[in-house]
Amino acid sequence: MIGGLVVVHGQAGAGKSALAVHAAWLRRERFPDGILYADLRETTTPAAVLEDFLRWLGCPAQAIPASREQRERLFRTYPANRRLLVVLDNAAGEAQVRSLLSACPTVVTSRSPLGGLTGALRLSVGVLDDAEALELLVRNSGRAADDALRRLARFCGGLPIALRIAGSRLAARPEWTVDYLVGLLEDEHKRLGRLHAGDLTVRSVFAIGFDGLPEAAKLTLHVLGALSAPDFADWVTERRARESAVALPVDRLLFALP
């Protein structure tokens, strides 16, 4: 019997991972035997994750089977009578997750709702509204809410990762005014590259989604990037898809856009 399954899904940079980890930490007393965590973007094979989990649960290395199927069966026996939580972060698809389900409650984060995982509770995470975005920016920057900070929040599009980065840049540079950072971000062609703090960047988050697209879809995005209009109708992408002889769902295209 598979334990409770929650899928936290939403666009890149919406804070899915942070939400899952924070919720697990807040409820840690309910799982006295531990929390198993795996970033499926870094460890792409379920077999490798199963090996890590089994070792953490005390299985001797020499007793871990070679095949994924045998590891699955062993993993489902080890958590018996233990109060564990499993967090599977950044799942690309259902196949990555199925092998890692057990009787333990499991939280999965993904850009997709993973509709093939039946019986899951799904929580959609979106961008923040204006008031929430301003609150997050105030908290991360240490600056007072004013018109300049509201404008900065709008430039971040309500995206939590962009707001965190902008706030972090202001907090790290007390000599900067908010207007100065707003000025750096006014040029929309350079905005993505300037939203960075140390090794945390908005560009890298969207690059993952872009790199996973078919070549025709990437080309379509490049072509659309040349448009001067702030938005466009569905038929623009549909026509481009027909020209390239590739079915390009509009929702997937918009999902990939920063």
pLDDT confidence bin for 3, thresholds 50/70/90: low
pTM: 0.75
pLDDT tens-digit series, residues 98-139: 999 988 999 999 999 999 999 999 999 988 999 999 999 999
90: left (phi over 0), alpha (psi -120 to 50) or beta: left
- pLDDT for position 80: 78
- The whole-angstrom separation of Cα 134 and Cα 86 is 33
- pLDDT for position 223: 67
Which regions of the chain does DSSP assign to beta strands (E)?
Answer: 5-10, 35-39, 85-91, 106-110, 121-125, 196-197, 200-201
Burial status of residue 98 (CB atoms within 10 A of its CB: 0-12, 13-18, 19 or more): middle
pLDDT tens-digit series, residues 48-60: 999 999 999 999 9
- pLDDT for position 189: 76
pLDDT tens-digit series, residues 135-190: 999 999 999 999 999 999 998 988 998 999 999 999 999 999 999 999 988 887 78
Give me the chain's average pLDDT, please: 83
- pLDDT for position 257: 38
> What is the rounded end-to-end Cα distance, in angstroms, of the chain?
40
User: Average pLDDT of 3-22?
Assistant: 89
- pLDDT for position 253: 38
pLDDT confidence bin for 254, thresholds 50/70/90: very low
